[in-house]
């Protein structure tokens, strides 16, 4: 199968020019002006953007959490991603307490088997380390293509690890070339505040935010940064939501430390007042860290513009409002934490980032495609358009109007974080390794087309696979 994409505006993190892209045997093999080569399909992309497939390094599909399981499994979550122009994501394996990483890895691979619609990798969420067992096993994961360790500094009594586990994981990462990722919140302090709020009879969704003040995020972010410095490991702070955690990351980067951070689409648009919506509707925006006071939104736009934060992910962790979120109707601490978002990152960042003049098109590509690929060992196979790279390509119509809604999205969730938002600009054709995944409103590819990708170690390139001659 070969495809010639003609006359599009080709955008990477660095480039912006009109040209033709020829795709054959899963990869981009030729880029030029007025290419005259025979192809099985010719796509007229004049007036359209030709973007690298987006990479989402932070999603949770088919994950047991908060007494239930996320509503999107690998298939529905990845279909949702594909329609939003995301062709590769990195999900989290969660180590059940006491289990080996090998067992956890097998379990999550079997959830994905045969159902993959886009390419994917895994991070390992470490919940428990034992000398003479999982501590040593942890070091073997990067050689299996799992090159990042995630630790939760919050969710006490569930996923949270203590500082010893965090620090020892960082020491292993410093040896093995893995990247350490942290969910940075002070789980002990939050646990006290949650118990006190409930004892005082405060049960509504807004108390989710009031018991997780921004200082608890700032404190944990700074703690993780300082410990990573001592251990000598690189660090990536996930879902940065507020000034209190942007500031320590800015200081660390200013000092030249190996510290990186992401925010997620929703933090630019959803603020604390959404949690106050009546009739339990506020529960739709119960995710962690919580929606913050509105002034943080400008802080985050500035941070992604100036590379204090290098990635925008989705933290897609979808639940039903009716039936799952409602488990916490009488107790905010029982509302499953998370929201859907995998489908609308490119829509929202193009509309409110690029069209409203906050970031350039090149910076958008960098934040959604290139930087996540580089930080997570997928570049240059993913995250750019170049000869030899996987032909993961989005032909994006910058004039197409689209109204974001749960009525038309592809997640199984019964609501959308951005319901009713009108955007101009939407993916028109999405290719995965040169195969048509989405064409207009239609999913063309069948589940099973996606693959598990063994990622390179931190700072190393993932070379294109050589197709046997």
Residue 145: exposure state from Cβ atoms within 10 A (0-12, 13-18, ≥19): middle
Q: Pick the closer one to Zn ion by CB: 315 or 397.
A: 315
Rounded to a whole number of angstroms, the minimum distance from the CB of residue 240 to Zn ion is 12
Are 290 and 264 a contacting pair, CB within 8 Å?
no
Is 436:102 a contact under the CB 8 Å cutoff? no
CB of 249 to Zn ion, least distance (A): 17
- Of 262 and 315, which has the nearer Cβ to Zn ion? 315
Taking the complex as a whole, the smallest distance from the CB of residue 314 to Zn ion amounts, in Å, to: 9
Closest separation in Å from C-beta 171 to Zn ion: 24
Instruction: Count residues near Zn ion (CB under 5 A).
Output: 1
Token digits for 20?
């033709």
Q: Which stretch binds Zn ion (CB under 5 A): 75-83, 133-141, 315-323, 327-335?
A: 315-323
Q: Which residues face 452 on adjacent strands? A: 120
Residue nearest to Zn ion (CB): 315
Residue 240: Cβ within 10 Å count: 29
Question: Measured from the CB atom, is 20 or 315 closer to Zn ion?
Answer: 315
Stretch in the footprint of Zn ion (CB under 5 A) among 16-24, 46-54, 312-320, 433-441: 312-320
Interface stretch with Zn ion, choices 311-319, 320-328, 329-337, 454-462 (CB under 5 A): 311-319
Distance CA 239, CA 429 (A): 29
DSSP H helical ranges for 84-179: 101-112, 134-138, 163-176
Q: Which of 308, 398, 310, 291 is nearest to 354 (CA)?
A: 398
| Residue 147 or 313 having the CB closest to Zn ion | 313
Which of 56/315 has CB closer to Zn ion? 315
- Contact segment (CB under 5 A) with Zn ion among 26-34, 279-287, 308-316, 318-326 equals 308-316
The neighbouring-strand residues paired with 432 are 435
CB of 315 to Zn ion, least distance (A): 4
Indicate the residue among 189 and 238 with the shorter CB distance to Zn ion: 238
Decide: is 62 part of the binding site for Zn ion (CB under 5 A). Answer: no
Report the interhelical angle of 214-231 vs 163-176 (nearest 10°).
40
- Nearer of residues 28 and 81 to Zn ion, judged by Cβ: 81
Nearer residue to Zn ion within complex by CB, 315 or 414: 315
**Piece of 67-75, 195-203, 210-218, 314-322 that binds Zn ion (CB under 5 A):** 314-322
Cβ neighbours for 408, distance < 8 A, ≥ 6 positions apart: none
Contacts with 432 (C-beta within 8 Å, 6 or more apart), sequence order: 53, 82, 87, 118, 119, 392, 445, 449, 450
Pairing of strands 119-125, 86-94: parallel
Q: Which is nearer to Zn ion, 12 or 314 (CB)?
A: 314
Q: 358: cis peptide before it, omega within 30°?
A: no
Give the x-and-dash track for 263-302 against Zn ion (CB under 5 A).
Answer: ----------------------------------------
Residue 2 tokens read as: 């070969």
Closest-CA residue to 150 (of 131, 134, 165, 133): 165
- Quote the least distance from Cβ 120 to Zn ion, whole Å: 15
Binder of Zn ion out of 24, 75, 217, 315 (CB under 5 A) = 315
Nearest approach in angstroms of CB 412 to Zn ion is 18
Residue ranges in contact with Zn ion by CB under 5 A: 315
């Amino acid at each position: 199968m070969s495809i010639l994409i003609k006359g599009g505006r080709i955008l990477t993190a660095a480039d912006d020019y009109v040209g033709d892209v020829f795709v054959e045997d899963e990869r981009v093999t030729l880029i030029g002006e007025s290419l005259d080569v025979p192809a099985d399909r010719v796509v007229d992309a004049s007036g359209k953007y030709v973007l690298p497939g987006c990479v989402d390094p932070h999603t949770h599909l088919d994950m047991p959490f908060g007494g239930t399981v996320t509503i999107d499994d690998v298939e529905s979550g990845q279909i949702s991603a594909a329609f939003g122009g995301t062709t590769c994501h990195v999900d989290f394996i969660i180590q059940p307490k006491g289990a080996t990483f090998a067992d956890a890895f097998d379990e999550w691979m079997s959830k994905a088997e045969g159902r993959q619609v886009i390419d994917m990798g895994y991070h390992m969420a470490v919940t428990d380390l034992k000398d003479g067992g999982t501590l040593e096993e942890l070091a073997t994961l990067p050689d299996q293509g799992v090159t990042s360790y995630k630790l939760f500094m919050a969710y006490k009594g569930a996923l949270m690890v203590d500082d010893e586990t965090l620090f020892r994981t960082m020491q292993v990462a410093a040896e093995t070339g893995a990247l350490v990722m942290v969910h940075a919140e002070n789980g002990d302090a939050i646990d006290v505040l949650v118990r006190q709020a409930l004892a005082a009879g405060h049960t509504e969704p807004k108390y989710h935010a009031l018991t997780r003040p921004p200082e608890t995020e700032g404190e944990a972010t700074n703690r993780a940064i300082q410990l990573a410095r001592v251990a000598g490991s690189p660090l990536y702070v996930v879902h940065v939501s507020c000034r209190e955690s942007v500031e320590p990351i800015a200081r660390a980067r200013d000092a030249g430390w190996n510290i990186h951070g992401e925010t997620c689409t929703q933090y630019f648009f959803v603020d604390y007042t959404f949690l106050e919506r009546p009739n339990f509707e506020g529960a739709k925006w119960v995710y962690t860290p919580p929606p913050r006071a509105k002034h943080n939104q400008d802080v985050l736009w500035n941070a992604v513009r100036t590379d204090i934060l290098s990635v925008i992910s989705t933290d897609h962790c979808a639940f039903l409002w009716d039936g799952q979120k409602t488990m916490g109707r009488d107790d905010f601490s029982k509302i499953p934490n998370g929201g859907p978002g995998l489908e609308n990152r490119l829509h929202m960042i193009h509309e409110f980032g690029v069209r409203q003049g906050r970031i350039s098109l090149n910076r958008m590509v960098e934040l959604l495609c290139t930087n996540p690929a580089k930080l997570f060992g997928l570049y240059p196979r993913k995250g750019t358009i170049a000869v030899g790279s996987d032909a993961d390509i989005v032909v994006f119509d910058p004039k197409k109007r689209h109204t974001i809604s749960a009525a038309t999205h592809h997640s199984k969730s019964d609501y959308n974080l951005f319901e009713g938002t009108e955007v101009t600009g939407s993916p028109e054709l999405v290719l995965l390794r040169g195969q048509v995944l989405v064409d207009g409103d239609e999913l063309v590819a069948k589940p099973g087309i996606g693959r598990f990708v063994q990622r390179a170690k931190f700072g190393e390139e993932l070379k294109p696979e050589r197709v046997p001659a």
